Amino acid sequence: MSGTNPYVKEIIKDSLMSIGEEMFVALARTSMSPIIYEVLDYACGLTDAKGNLISQGNGVTSFIGMLSPMVKSVLDKFGEDLEAGDIIIINDPYIGGGSHLSDVGLVMPIFHENKLVAFSANKGHWTDVGGKNPGSLTSDSNEIYQEGLQLSGVKLFDAGVLNKSVETIITDNIRLPQFSIGDMWAQVAALRTGEKRFKELCDLNSKETIEQVITELISSSEEYSQQVIDSLPKGVFEAEDYIEGDPEKGGPYKIKVKVTITEDAFICDFRGSHPQVSHPVNCSYFGLLASVRVMYLAIVQPQFNITEGLFRPLKIITDEKSILSAERPAPVSMNFEARLGGAELIWKALAPEIPEKLPAGHSLSVCSVTVAGTHPDSGEDFLIVEPSVGGWGAANEADGQSGQFCMGNGETYNVPIEVAEAKYGVLVGNYGFRKDSSGAGEYIGGRGVVRSYEILSDNQYLSATYGRHQFKPWGMKGGEKGASSYIEVHKANGNIVGPLGVTTRLPLDKGDVVELVTPSGGGYGNPSDREYGKVEKDIKNGFYTEEEAMDQFGYKQR
């Protein structure tokens, strides 16, 4: 757009990105829980005064699509009843930006010269938000009221003054409040960092200039997105798959998508997917929206700061009360199984058409693990709440990546062994790549991992949901399927429980060993076309035995 100095525009654009990153660092450095400061299960960002995303710090990929709908829901609820110093707390899955109750968002309006100019927002996974299970992750809830404390958007701060009654309600309803409340204050610190820096930017460049540049950035993002759509194959592309639940409760549940790419739109139609169910693998429409946006970004591949304009050509259609667009009071604790499953359907439908952008099927599941108990040394209660890494699918010119988080987790990390053993009542006995014959192809799928916890005290409990237990990651262009996930518990008395895909509050005692095995990615291309030297290296790495290599690749030792 004319009228804006291009140098000023570039400085403001980079400053907005810097603000998002500084907010991100501020939250990590002041948080109390490993799920935040080690795993980085959170995100921070800025929106304009209308709730349009203009900047974001890295973290959980799915949160990219949650911040702006969350801010817009705050605008819808409060309208003109917002003032400087307000902070709204929100975790309701059924309104803008919702996923499950454990993902708690904070929103702060930013005023300059008494005018609303932007919002500072963040969303983080709290260690516990109450409910029937420690860690607030449950695979057997049948309504959302069992999953924790619900906050549909209330003022935690009113004109800069803490609402102590709200804080007390939260504290009284959650386990280990020193962690979750500590993380809440870290989120407040990050919001105030964003507010301070944005106001400084307005002081330096004038509010009008900032607003003009933001408008230009959103517009140019939309133009870029449209250019990418112009380059994509046009037509209708379909795929289907299944969401796995606890087989004792029901499922698997069929989901499907029809992707229609026109000259000016990218339409994802999920109608015909299974209706919502009474256990917590549902996701709300807003959870699906967030993950579909992640998938869309993987296709358009922007090389600049993400803004709301990128998503304007994207359209999402669902049935009412679908497993992919559930409505209250459906349970959603394990919502990531549905929303990531729905997003990967787009991947599956389009990968054969654009293999340079999309590889074969990956581990998909968050593979969430919660272990609760008492630390044998300190006598204090502890909670392990963490996702698990797995294998990604092979691409048309590369083997799949091993030991990576699924598409929904993005730039997050596992808890280091040293931290886990210091803070939790477990001993990590094994953590390495799995060795099996899965994912064969001209390019092989990435390896899942094997992680084991030796339990160090009695009366611990395990809850875990490992997707891709029944349905393996898909191969591509003749590549073989990847390996499925499973959980086994080797009891101290020699008995073995499992293999399982889902378990809830499974009792553990001292000497038991929990073995957690995540999926490996699918292969790409005919295995017989794999280069001999690569197969030799695979054997040396322990990914295949000589017998498996002979069977899969036609390998013969020279």
Q: Is residue 191 within 8 Å of residue 124, measured between CB atoms?
A: no
Tell me the residue length of the chain.
558
The per-residue pLDDT for range 469-525, each reduced to its tens digit, is 999 999 999 999 999 999 999 999 999 998 999 988 899 999 999 999 999 999 999
Tell me: the pLDDT tens digits for 99-151? Answer: 899 999 999 999 998 999 999 999 999 989 999 888 888 888 999 999 999 99
- 14-28, 409-423, 540-554: the lowest-pLDDT one: 409-423
Q: Which of 57-71, 320-334, 466-480, 521-535 has the lowest mean pLDDT?
A: 57-71
308, 280 Cβ separation under 8 angstroms = no
* SS3 of 441-507: CCECCCCCEEEEEEECCCCEEEEEECCCCCCCCCCECCCCCCCCCEEEEECCCCCEEEEECEEEEEE
pLDDT classification of 558: cutoffs 50, 70, 90 = low
Tokens of 40: 């980085």
268-306 per-position pLDDT tens digit: 999 999 999 998 999 999 999 999 999 999 898 887 778
For tokens 């906050």, the residue is 151
Structure tokens at 436: 């099996």
> What span, in angstroms and rounded, lies between the C-alpha atoms of 50 and 421?
46
At 414 the pLDDT is: 79
What is the CA angle 45-46-50, rounded to 5?
135
Query: What does the block give as tokens for 89?
Result: 């707390």
Classify 436 in phi/psi space as left (phi over 0), alpha (psi -120 to 50) or beta: beta
Q: What is the 3-state secondary structure (H, E, C) of 9-32?
A: HHHHHHHHHHHHHHHHHHHHHHCC
Percent of the residues in the chain that have a pLDDT greater than 70, as a whole number: 99
Q: What is the 3-state secondary structure (H, E, C) of 139-157?
A: CCCCCHHHCCCCCEEEEEE
∠ CA 89-95-96, rounded to 5°: 80
CA gap 425, 178 in Å, rounded: 18
Task: Give the CA dihedral 188, 189, 191, 193, nearest 10 degrees.
Answer: 170
CA atoms within 13 A on the CB side of 188: 18
Pairing type for strands 115-125 and 42-48 reads: antiparallel
Mean pLDDT (the chain) is 91
Q: Which two tokens stand for residue 216?
A: 């230009």
Contact present, 527 and 394 (Cβ < 8 Å): no
Res 145: pLDDT: 95
Cis peptide before 527 (omega within 30 of 0): no
Three-class SS of residue 229? helix
pLDDT at 35: 84
Cis bond leading into 499, ω under 30°?
Answer: yes
pLDDT given for residue 170 in this prediction? 96
Task: Please state the rounded mean pLDDT for residues 422-433.
Answer: 91
Phi-psi region of 21 (alpha: psi -120 to 50; beta: other; left: phi over 0): alpha
Which of 223, 213, 296, 241 is CA-nearest to residue 46? 213
* Largest pairwise CA distance in the chain: 78
Report yes or no: 274 and 263 within 8 Å, Cβ to Cβ: no
Report pTM. Answer: 0.89
User: What does the block give as tokens for 207?
Assistant: 């509010």
